[in-house]
Homo-oligomer: A and B are copies of this chain.
């Protein structure tokens, strides 16, 4: 499990926190990321945390073989030396989304919104890791972490703007956008 903790300490300095939709999160000056190998039930939050968001890396829900091959080849790793800017974007989707059967969610996600296909061109610049939170009973369904170099900040805006304009995003009922820089 991965914990994203907003508080007074942490490697990442919070540059901005914006509410895109729904309720905000309290502002925190720093962000730390904790990889916790203990089971879900054992994990406590830091005492000075303004908020703690939990997620797990998990298996893919929509990606198909031909897409996986491309993603595996094109996705840069996290932790590149030049990637001193990052973003944590927690989102929650609506009950209407989760009630859809698999084929209809896939059709909206990819055939109509082209989430994978249209994100592909940003991959050499933007590193990305998805964490699943829904089954943990967390306030958000997904926590996506992005890392990029300062010169790719504009490219990153283009990526999030593109996603927010899709049909898929009509099902997003809460979204917060936390931008950070290596401290």
Residue positions of A touching B, CB distance < 8 A: 1, 39-41, 43-44, 54, 56, 58-65, 67-68, 98-99, 101-104, 106, 132, 134-138
CB-based contact B40/A137 at 8 Å: yes
How many monomers of this protein are in the complex? 2
CB-based contact A61/B135 at 8 Å: no
Query: A39 with B137: in contact, given A64-B102, A65-B101, A99-B59 (CB under 8 Å)?
Result: yes
CB-based contact A63/B136 at 8 Å: no
**Which residues of the other chain, B, contact A103 by a CB distance below 8 angstroms?**
64-65
* Contact of A65 (CB < 8 Å), options: B56, B67, B104: B104
**Which residues of the other chain, B, contact A134 by a CB distance below 8 angstroms?**
58-59
**Which residues of the other chain, B, contact A68 by a CB distance below 8 angstroms?**
101
